[in-house]
Structure 1
């Protein structure tokens, strides 16, 4: 009985986000030229419409 309860709880937790918005990846690459020379930048991340996470280089 204890195992059945654990499996039921695990299935419930796994299905919580099943109908949520999928994560959309995004990326950006840039090059700029100025008095200091040539600079490059890049960023990668993901968003689901409400929350965005990203890392810039």
Structure 2
């Protein structure tokens, strides 16, 4: 139960801007947009 409470507390802090106050976007920053990148591998290496 303590683990669940600790995870809930960390999730709440991560979602509320605990790293600083919110900042407005700069003039040159795009207002809308999503960027995703990454890679995934699956299989057996031998």
Q: Do they superpose with TM above 0.5?
A: no
Structure with more contact order per residue of length (Cα contacts < 8 Å, sep ≥ 6): 1
Higher helix share: 2
Higher strand share: 1
What TM-score does the superposition give when structure 1 sets the normalisation length?
0.32
Q: Which structure's CA Rg is the greater one? A: 1
